Amino acid sequence: MKKRLLSLSIAAAVLLSGCGAQQTTGSGSPGAGSGAKTHTLKVANYFATDHPQNVALREKFKPMVEEMSGGTLKVQIFDNSQLGAEKEFYDGVRNGTIEMGIPGLIMQADIPKLAVGEWPFLFKDFAHAKAVFTGPIGEELTEELESKHGVHPLAWSANGFRMFSSNRPISKLDDFKGLRLRMPNIPNYIRLGQLLGANVTPMPISEVFTALEQRVVDGQDNPIATLRASGWYEVQSDVLESRHMFSPNLYIINAKLWNELTPEQRQIIEQAAKASADYEWELMEKSYEADKAFLQEHGIRFTTPDDSFRQAMEAAAQPLYDEIYQTYPWAKEMVEKIKAAAK
């Protein structure tokens, strides 16, 4: 059954890949500007259907765009990696076969400043993270995205504070030793896992459930909203509330398409993206206690690290910062600016 559903999803993605770029001249509307062309915006992401990212897209972004544009802009949401894993749909937005996406920071390999968003133990709380990403620092992080990758940034949203889930308790640093840990295929993630003492296995998020179920890996790191929405709690027993990294997401649109839109259409999309992302920040922050209660009801045990354990994790991660500072002259000043934003 899973194979059949996967085949249908792939077939649908192939069929739709050429549809979104088709344009027909519409009569326009007061909201979209006179003579505006009609565009269908496919929005791809890797989150489960019930994740706050997709709730916000359905409840805010889609209705706002379609209503405010008078029908010249239509939105189709492709969640749960329907149009490919993160790299695939991000590349689709870059080359224009997919109009929009909400990736993580996969682009940081080519744009090093974007890696800042996921440096370990850097953010104090949601308010601190939101102030950084939605303010001048967030603009600075994305300033090269359009020129280097051909995608236009619209709004920062929140994935949340990442924590480790596993099939056994993690209550001290030594418990990471020998732990087969799935992490995204991003150098900073991999290095952090290794410094903590884990055996890191990079893989796309779409493969995580099966890897956990078949004991290919023992654990993974993600915000607990993802643990719940993706059903991984069925194949895990423990969560360490490590809050070791804040993970943001970014609403993006193909730059060529962006420049073809009318000024009114661009304003509508940007306004809707910011409203949707702002709503998603709110949903993510509010959902933590509810997600935790749900997971506990389903047998997940939570471990909150004491001060000594947390300090040990931060100390273990310090060589990563030493390497970053040696590589990027701007990095230390950036860290200081981010920490100052918490005050």
Nearest to 160 by CA among 116, 206, 223: 223
Mean of the per-residue pLDDT values of the chain: 91
Domain assignment of residue 27, yes or no: no
Which pLDDT tens digit goes with each residue over 169-197?
999 999 999 999 999 988 999 999 999 99
* Side chain identity at residue 128, one-letter code: H
Which pLDDT tens digit goes with each residue over 109-137?
899 999 998 999 999 999 999 999 999 99
- What CATH number is attached to the domain comprising 260? 3.40.190.170
Domain assignment of residue 263, yes or no: yes
Q: Mean per-residue pLDDT for 156-161?
A: 96
By residue range, what is the domain housing residue 141? 2-20+38-340
Sequence-distant (≥ 6) Cβ neighbours of residue 320 within 8 angstroms: 119, 120, 188, 191, 192, 195
| pLDDT of res. 18 | 44
Q: What are phi and psi of 236, to 5 degrees?
A: -135, 160
Domain assignment of residue 32, yes or no: no
Domain assignment of residue 202, yes or no: yes
Residues linked to residue 2 through DSSP beta bridges, in sequence order: none
Rounded to whole angstroms, the Cα distance separating 60 from 28 reads 22
Sequence-distant (≥ 6) Cβ neighbours of residue 340 within 8 angstroms: none
Sequence-distant (≥ 6) Cβ neighbours of residue 5 within 8 angstroms: none
| pLDDT of res. 31 | 57
Nearest to 19 by CA among 38, 5, 1, 35: 38
Q: Who wins on pLDDT, 12 or 265?
A: 265
Q: What percent of the chain has pLDDT over 70?
A: 90
Report helix, strand or coil for 303.
strand
Which pLDDT tens digit goes with each residue over 29-40?
445 655 689 999
| pLDDT of res. 36 | 80
Report helix, strand or coil for 164.
strand
Q: In total, how many domains does the chain have?
A: 1
Domain assignment of residue 187, yes or no: yes
| pLDDT of res. 200 | 98
Domain assignment of residue 26, yes or no: no
Domain assignment of residue 31, yes or no: no
Q: Who wins on pLDDT, 10 or 61?
A: 61
Rounded to whole angstroms, the Cα distance separating 152 from 144 reads 10
Rounded to whole angstroms, the Cα distance separating 204 from 100 reads 20
Long-range contacts of 7-14 (CB under 8 A, 24+ apart): 9/82, 12/82, 13/78, 13/82, 13/83, 13/84
Q: Mean per-residue pLDDT for 145-173?
A: 97
Q: Global pTM?
A: 0.83
Domain assignment of residue 30, yes or no: no
| pLDDT of res. 12 | 45
| pLDDT of res. 218 | 98
pLDDT at 1 over 70: no
| pLDDT of res. 280 | 98
Nearest to 101 by CA among 308, 294, 247, 255: 255
Residues shown for the chain: 343
